[in-house]
């Protein structure tokens, strides 16, 4: 089973995904890292040099290949905040993964994004873009996990219980 964690930027996908994978004793992968390895450049570089459509095409391809490669094995996969906007991604996630939406208030995610920096789309459209994407997270996810007030470990525990 591929446990795919979806949600907006700074919703905790990578941190929680690592904890879940450790607890389950299975590999953890981050789609952003797969993309960076494949492109040979950082995400800000891909956005700046090639543009968002090129990034999405690469993201869609990396997602499809990862899902195909790990079909039948156990893997925790942290998606990017915009993976659900890639053509075909929502149905792929619905059909081939157990997709969990880490849902947090947009203010919490905006605070974290401001504090960490380095994300090309953490801009003035942050809240607007989140509301545009909410229906896509909803459509992709089998499980919605409200994370506000929970620690990363508590969120991971919820996911592990859902997977039993």
Taking 3-state DSSP, the helix, strand and coil percentages for the chain, each rounded to the nearest 5, stand at 60, 15, 30
Tokens of 76: 């925790």
Specify the stretch interacting with ligand S3P by CB under 6 A; choose among 61-69, 94-102, 116-124, 143-151.
116-124
Does residue 82 belong to the site contacting ligand S3P (CB under 6 A)?
yes
Site string for ligand S3P, 8-47 (x = CB under 6 A): -x---x------------------x----------x----
In degrees rounded to 5, what are phi and psi of residue 81?
-60, -25
Does residue 119 belong to the site contacting ligand S3P (CB under 6 A)?
yes
Closest to ligand S3P by CB, 131 or 161 = 131
In contact, 41 and 35? CB cutoff 8 Å: no
3-state SS assignment for residue 97: coil
**Where does this chain bind ligand S3P (CB under 6 A)?**
9, 13, 32, 43, 80-82, 119-121
């Amino acid at each position: 089973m591929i446990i795919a964690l979806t949600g907006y930027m700074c919703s905790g996908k990578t941190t929680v995904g690592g904890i879940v994978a450790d607890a389950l004793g299975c590999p953890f992968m981050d789609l952003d890292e797969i993309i960076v390895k494949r492109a040979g450049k950082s995400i800000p570089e891909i956005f700046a040099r090639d543009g968002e459509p090129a990034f999405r095409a690469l993201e869609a391809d990396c997602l499809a290949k990862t899902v195909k490669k790990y079909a039948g094995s156990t893997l925790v996969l942290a998606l990017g905040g915009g993976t659900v906007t890639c053509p075909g991604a929502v149905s792929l996630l619905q059909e081939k993964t157990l997709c969990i939406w880490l849902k947090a208030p947009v203010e919490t995610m905006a605070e974290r994004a401001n504090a960490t920096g380095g994300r090309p789309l953490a801009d003035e459209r942050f809240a607007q873009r989140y509301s545009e994407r909410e229906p896509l997270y909803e459509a992709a996810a089998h499980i919605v996990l409200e994370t506000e007030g929970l620690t990363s470990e508590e969120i991971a525990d919820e996911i592990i219980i859902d997977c039993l």
